[in-house]
């Protein structure tokens, strides 16, 4: 089968990852399809091809694809509201009858024209990492299951790519100017809601020697925004309560815990945008004012997770606590409003068992008089 591709799959690196051929050659030719135009997608750094008179979409034809090639391409493309249909294209050797992935929903597109060069320079490394993790599911999970996890996969890839860019600066601050980290092997042990990697590495020690080979298991977590809603006029805070698997599996008799509002930063979101979205989803409050109180790793010895912490300035004068949460995500969240001094007493008496919440409450105790009014 011959398939026309118009966006990210013009990249030889991405094609190799998706098709899983290694160094096996892929026969391609330059092509275009009339009556279509390619725009950036609304949901992320992806292209969307939509019908448009007097326009022409440029791409490549992947020729003589095997059945396995097509299965892998379909696994990668079809779940994102695309359909594979026959079409006619013009190639550099004449007209050809091929198939192409067409979008079922033109509303997915922005009004900004797609730029392959911009994607290649700004987003391709993230896409390569995400595609590799996504295609690890091929043959083990149904495509709709994998696609439901794609936002999380892509966000993880975004974190890894950004960390790789900054890694040199981090290493330079190690024990010696000649610091280096030697990664011997990385192996994926589990891939699901989170990912679990086993890594073997050596690194420079404070005495100047290189360590022995270290074998570590690391939870490949996500970036998240944590928010403590606070009414400075009433001096009250809003807490959320929900069941947590961690306390339950530890044997805690009360696995329903008080927490700040929190949620994973989705693809294309800033931490601030995620914070505002999560407060609305988990508490039904629209937030205009956010005060950032810090960011960092909650558990650097075991996970890559990174938290952005905020105080949300809100009006709780007419707020009615209730049950909230995104039902499509299976959330079951109950909100509570309490006097700040009461919550502070819970914190200092060790009655708040979620450490990020303790940190935020103690920060607020030190800084609440400096916060803006609502």
Residues 273-307 have pLDDT tens digits of: 999 999 999 999 999 999 999 999 999 999 989 99
Looking only at the bridges linking them, the beta strands covering 223-231 and 306-313 are parallel
C-alpha separations of 162 from 4, 122, 157 in Å: 31, 11, 9
Q: Which of 8-22, 43-57, 347-361 is the most confident on average?
A: 347-361
155-162 mean pLDDT = 74
Strands (E), the chain: 3-5, 28-41, 47-62, 82-91, 94-103, 109-113, 181-191, 195-203, 214-220, 223-231, 236-243, 256-259, 261-264, 289-296, 306-313, 323-324, 333-339
Are the CB atoms for 224 and 307 separated by under 8 Å?
Answer: yes
Rounded CA separation 246/21 (Å): 40
d(CA 228, CA 299) in angstroms, rounded, equals 20
Query: What pLDDT was estimated at residue 220?
Result: 83
Confidence of residue 193 (pLDDT cuts 50, 70, 90): confident
The third-level CATH classification (topology) of the domain covering 3-115 is: Hypothetical upf0131 protein ytfp (3.10.490)
Q: Is the pLDDT of residue 171 over 80?
A: no
Q: Are strands 94-103 and 3-5 parallel, antiparallel or unpaired?
A: parallel
Which contacts (CB < 8 Å, 24+ apart) does range 243-248 have?
243/332, 247/353
pLDDT at 168 over 50: no
For residue 371, pLDDT over 80 is answered with yes
8 A C-beta contact, residue 280 and residue 272: no
pTM for this one? 0.72
Residue-wise pLDDT for 65-80, tens only, equals: 999 999 999 988 887 7
H or E stretch covering 27: none
Cβ atoms of 196 and 136 within 8 Å: the answer is no
Confidence of residue 175 (pLDDT cuts 50, 70, 90): low
End-to-end CA distance of the chain: 62
Q: Taking phi first (over 0 means left), then psi (-120 to 50 degrees means alpha), and beta for anything else, what does residue 309 get?
A: beta
Q: What is d(CA 106, CA 158) in angstroms, rounded to the nearest whole number? A: 26
Domain residue spans in the chain? Answer: 3-115, 223-370
Q: Does 21 score more than 80 pLDDT?
A: no
CATH architecture, domain defined by 223-370: Alpha-Beta Complex (3.90)
Residues with catalytic function = 329
Mean pLDDT value of segment 137-161 = 72
Closest listed residue to residue 319, CA positions, set 373, 271, 264, 280: 280
Where residue 174 falls among pLDDT bands split at 50, 70, 90? low
Q: Which two tokens stand for residue 185?
A: 């092997």
Question: Cα dist. 150→77, 186, 254 in Å?
Answer: 12, 21, 33
Per-residue pLDDT band for 170 (boundaries 50, 70, 90) equals very low
Dihedrals phi, psi of 305, to nearest 5 degrees: -50, 145
Beta pairing partners, 32: 58, 90
Torsion of CA 146, 264, 297, 346, to 10 degrees: -130
Cβ neighbours of residue 157 under 8 Å, at least 6 residues apart? Answer: 126, 127, 128, 129, 130, 133
**Residue 327 is encoded by which pair of tokens?**
């039902």
Does the structure show a pLDDT above 50 at 111?
yes
Q: What is the pLDDT of residue 144?
A: 65
Position 147 confidence tier, pLDDT thresholds 50, 70, 90: low
Judge whether residue 240 has pLDDT over 60: yes
Query: Considering the chain, what percentage of its residues have pLDDT values greater than 70?
Result: 91
Mean pLDDT of the chain: 88
The pLDDT-based confidence of 167 (bands split at 50, 70, 90) is: very low
Q: How confident is the model at residue 169 (pLDDT cuts 50, 70, 90)?
A: very low
How high is the pLDDT of residue 299? 92
Instruction: Take residue 336 and report the two structure tokens written for it.
Output: 């509570």
């Amino acid at each position: 089968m011959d398939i026309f591709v118009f966006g990210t799959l013009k990249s030889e690196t991405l094609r190799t990852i998706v098709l899983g051929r290694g160094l096996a050659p892929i026969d391609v030719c330059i092509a275009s399809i009339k009556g279509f135009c390619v725009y950036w997608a609304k949901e992320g750094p992806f292209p969307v091809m939509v019908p448009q008179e007097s326009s022409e979409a440029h791409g490549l034809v992947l020729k003589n694809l095997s059945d396995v090639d097509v299965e892998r391409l379909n696994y990668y493309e079809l779940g994102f509201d695309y359909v594979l249909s026959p079409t006619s294209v013009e190639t550099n050797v004449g007209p050809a009858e091929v198939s192409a992935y067409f979008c079922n929903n033109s509303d997915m597109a922005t009004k900004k024209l797609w730029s392959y060069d911009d994607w290649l320079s700004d987003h391709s490394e993230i896409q390569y990492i995400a595609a590799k993790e996504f295609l690890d599911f091929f043959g083990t999970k149904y495509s709709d299951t994998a696609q439901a996890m794609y936002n999380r996969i892509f966000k993880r890839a975004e974190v890894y790519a950004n960390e790789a860019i900054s890694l040199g600066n981090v290493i330079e601050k190690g024990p010696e100017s000649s610091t280096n980290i030697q990664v011997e092997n990385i192996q994926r042990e589990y891939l699901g809601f989170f990912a679990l990697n086993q890594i073997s590495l050596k690194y420079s020690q404070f005495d100047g020697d290189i360590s022995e080979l270290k074998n570590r298991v690391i939870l490949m977590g996500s970036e998240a925004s944590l928010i403590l809603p606070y009414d400075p006029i009433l001096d009250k805070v809003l807490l959320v309560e929900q069941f947590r698997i961690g306390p339950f599996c530890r044997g805690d008799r009360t696995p329903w815990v008080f927490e700040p509002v929190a949620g994973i930063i989705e693809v294309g979101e800033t931490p601030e945008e995620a914070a505002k979205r999560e407060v609305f989803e988990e508490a039904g409050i629209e937030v205009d004012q956010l005060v950032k109180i810090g960011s960092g790793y909650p558990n650097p010895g075991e996970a890559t997770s990174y938290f952005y912490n905020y105080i949300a300035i809100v009006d709780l004068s007419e707020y009615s606590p209730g049950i909230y949460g995104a039902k499509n995500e299976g959330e079951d969240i109950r909100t509570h409003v309490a006097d700040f001094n009461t919550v502070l007493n819970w914190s200092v008496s060790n009655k708040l068992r979620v450490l990020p919440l303790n940190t935020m409450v103690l920060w607020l105790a030190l800084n609440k008089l400096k916060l803006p009014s609502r």
